[in-house]
Structure 1
Amino acid sequence: MMRVKSFEKKAFVWIFKIVLILLNMLLLFLLLLGVIYNPSFLLNNILEINGIIAGFLTGLLMAIAGKILFLKSIRWRTSLDFLVGKVLNQRKLPVLLYLSLRAGFLEELYARGPVLLVKHEISSNLQLICIFSGITNVIWTVNHLSNRSRELDENFFEAFNNSFAHLFVVFLTGIVFSMLLLKFNSILPSIIAHTTTNFVFSLFYRHHLYHLSQKSQEE
């Protein structure tokens, strides 16, 4: 009986991972089709100064909001430490900047790029665009579980429960990124906001860890 339950759990995890991979491949395939059909859609309003400023300011505000939430919410702080603590705790600033830029560009490209494609080439129906944006946002959010792949294999529901608070915050940030995309009809503001949020909040996180280490040494 124990072996059967163990097999069922492993099968569930593998099915979950396979479905997630297929959904990501579908998004990438849709993005690729869009680039082949009309590569210019990703460059739409790319140099609009208002969008660039809005992306930067939004990223700063979200990082500040993240700092406040981090200090106020033990549950989210614990969840964030569990899911992405190792990624945020980079000793070298160039590495931290690189990771922030990479996440901002690549994640927005595959998560929000297809939304821009749908708006430009498929339908201008706001309801349809919002539904599709919500679906891509869920996929992008759940992808963050890959940071704890081993824990998912060992105990999926425990790992998911430990990650849920941060996943919820990630989902909310994705909504903001999507709003920037749709507001300025360009992917650049969401890339800038994503990169700025990651980098500025990571600086705070590093400072927080340094403060804790100094405090423990004094004690």
Structure 2
Amino acid sequence: MNKDTNRIIRIICPLWVLLSLGLMFYSLEKLTPSGYLQDLSLIKIQGLSVNLLYGTGIGLLYIAVGIILFNRHSNWRKSMEFLVGKGLTKGNVGRLVIMSLTASIWEEGYTRGFVLVLFPKNYSGVILIAFILNSLWALSHLLNNQDDLADSFTRTFKQATPHMIIIFLSGIPWYFITFATGSLIPAIVSHFLLDFGIGIFYRKQLINENFYA
């Protein structure tokens, strides 16, 4: 293990956690008006229902794409398993629900949510900021493999790249739906369904493969 690289990772990881959490809380506070839950009118409930439906539909579409990639692209599957496989199989289904919900709120808060706060009506600088945040979001998944990064950054980055590309691409539609609806709910719901649905699928896939091995 490279001690210098390991030291850098140990510095970057908590800094990134603090930064991303700060952006998430800032975004969610700005996007949630005071007294919102005490003033749920029929119009607000209807809007919430529509956003939930959008999120569910997009989430199911993402799951379908993920399953297709899993079954047809072995290089992407290996990359996905390397980068997030341990997280998808850790603990029981309840833990998977909590992890998926936490990831969806946290990650959507500091990416799509922060951009929505900064550019609610002004789109002039949104592309650059969205690109930077989306790239940081994709790269942050490398921190799931800190030991591998410390051993060899180049090898770890190369192995993780196919899945990081998919992560980056998956974030783009979430920006569009967030701006189209003016709400973070569709992105959070679909992100949760994607993580949870692929987690369940991957667990069952491993069980089947071990059974027929």
TM tier, shorter chain?
0.7 to 0.9
> Which residue of structure 1 lines up, in the alignment, with residue 80 of structure 2?
80
Alignment of 1:63-74 (within 5 A): 63-74=63-74
Cross-structure match for 2:103: 103
CA contact (8 A) 2:28 2:113 kept: no
Aligned residue for 1:60, secondary structure, equals helix
Contact 2:9 2:150 in 1 (8 A): no
Structure 2, unpaired ranges of 5+: 37-43
Please report how far the alpha carbon of residue 38 of structure 1 lies from its aligned counterpart in structure 2 after TM superposition: 7.4
Equivalent position SS for 2:183? coil
Q: Judging changes above 3 Å, is the alpha-carbon distance between structure 1 residues 153 and 100 closer, same or farther for their aligned structure 2 residues?
A: same
Matched, 1:190 2:183: no
* Counterpart contact for 1:24–1:139, Cα < 8 Å: no
Structure 1: distance between partners of 2:117 and 2:84: 30
Match of 1:48, SS? helix
The reply on whether 1:40 has 2:38 as its aligned counterpart is no
1:14 counterpart residue number: 8
1:53-202 → structure 2 map (5 Å cutoff): 53-90=53-90, 92-120=92-120, 124-202=121-199
| AA in 2 matched with 1:144 | H
How far apart are the structure 2 equivalents of 1:155 and 1:147?
Answer: 14
The residue identity in structure 1 corresponding to 2:116 is L
Q: Determine the C-alpha separation between the residues in 1 that align with 2:7 and 2:124.
A: 33
- Distance, in Å, in 2 between the alignment partners of 1:95 and 1:142 is 24
CA contact (8 A) 2:23 2:110 kept: no
Shift in Å, 1:127 = 3.7
The alpha-carbon deviation at position 110 of structure 1 amounts to 1.7
SS at match of 2:125: helix
Provide the alpha-carbon RMSD of the alignment. Answer: 2.7
- What secondary structure, in the 3-state scheme, does the structure 2 residue paired with 1:191 have? helix
Shift of residue 158, structure 1, vs aligned partner = 0.2
TM-score normalised by L of structure 2: 0.83
Asked if the contact 1:31–1:117 (Cα under 8 Å) also holds between the matched residues in 2, the reply is no
Q: CA deviation at 1:40?
A: 2.3
For the residue of structure 1 that corresponds to 2:33, the secondary structure is helix
Q: In the alignment, which residue of structure 2 is the partner of 1:209?
A: 206
Give the Cα separation in 2 of the matches to 1:75 and 1:103.
Answer: 25
